[in-house]
Amino acid sequence: MDFIVATLILANAAAIMLWISGAIYFDVCGGGRWGWLLVAAWAGGVIVLFAVWQPLWQPFLVFLCVTAIFLVWWFRQKPSHDRDWVPSSAVLPRAMRDGDMITIDNVRNFDYRSLEDFTPRYEARAYHLANLNGVDVIFFVWENPLLGHPALVFDFGSDGRLCMSIEMRYRKGQDYSLLRGLYRQQELIFLAADERDVILRRTKYRMPIFTASSSAQSNCGPCSSTMSKRSTICSRSLAGTTSCARTVPRRSTGFPAFRTALTGG
């Protein structure tokens, strides 16, 4: 029984130590080279603590107290606008509602020559909720078919179409990393963009598009709710490449219509 208890204590301590090691490296040291020194000092200190202090439950209790203090600091981290962002996500949209009309500033509508070579352009657009005809849900799929990214495209009829997406807000020099994401190093924002802009950044891969067939009244709730959140929540920018895209027309049925946009001319 003592062996089982000791094994559980050491296994839990090892798991917590590894997680905090990552937090020290990414969150405390910002992923800098010298962060490995602090991680090594932390890990070495924990190992010595359990090696010289018996019985095991006593150092484990101290270890849990240190972990709790660290978590208090860790959960107090907040996203910030004051960072060196990549140009594609440097400017955030701002939504204002006046009755039936929603006005959005900083709708992204870039002209892309390549993924990294583009002419930034932001627009102010106005949409009337009464003109909302439907919503397209676009799923962008990459090499791994288990990974994808959804975006909503609201069709406001004569007012035009608006794409909304929750995306990573990359800092300059930063790439996507699942590990960094576990340590709150990849902030998110709401993105408001022209449909053409969003698709052209991602059309290196196949893009299944499912059309939501519903009434204008049922679409107004999600749209206005998203607009309200957009003005206060921060996003990600996922990589793609430029090309042309074509789609088959949307069908009006009682079931979601399937559309696939393919790269091409």
- Token pair 């990974």 is found at 147
| Model confidence pTM above 0.75 | no
Q: What is the pLDDT of residue 217?
A: 52
Q: Report the C-alpha dihedral over residues 130, 131, 137, 140, rounded to 10 degrees.
A: -130
For residues 4 and 153, give the distance between their C-alpha atoms in angstroms, rounded to a whole number. Answer: 55
Q: What is the pLDDT of residue 45?
A: 94
pLDDT band at 222 (very low <50, low <70, confident <90, very high): low
Contact (Cβ atoms closer than 8 angstroms) between residue 169 and residue 89: yes
Contact (Cβ atoms closer than 8 angstroms) between residue 134 and residue 249: no
Contact (Cβ atoms closer than 8 angstroms) between residue 227 and residue 102: yes
pLDDT digits over 94-141, tens only? 999 999 999 999 999 998 887 778 889 999 999 999 999 988 888 877
AA identity, residue 91: V
Q: What is the pLDDT of residue 46?
A: 94
Contact (Cβ atoms closer than 8 angstroms) between residue 214 and residue 137: no
Q: What is the pLDDT of residue 150?
A: 85
Residue 238 has pLDDT above 80, yes or no: no
What six digits make up the tokens of 95? Answer: 């939504």
Q: What is the pLDDT of residue 204?
A: 47
Indicate the angle between helix axes 35-52 and 57-75, nearest 10 degrees.
Answer: 150
For residues 197 and 211, give the distance between their C-alpha atoms in angstroms, rounded to a whole number. Answer: 19
> What are the structural domain ranges in the chain?
2-75, 87-264
Contact (Cβ atoms closer than 8 angstroms) between residue 191 and residue 108: yes
Average pLDDT over the chain, rounded to whole?
A: 77
pLDDT digits over 188-207, tens only? 889 999 988 888 777 644 45
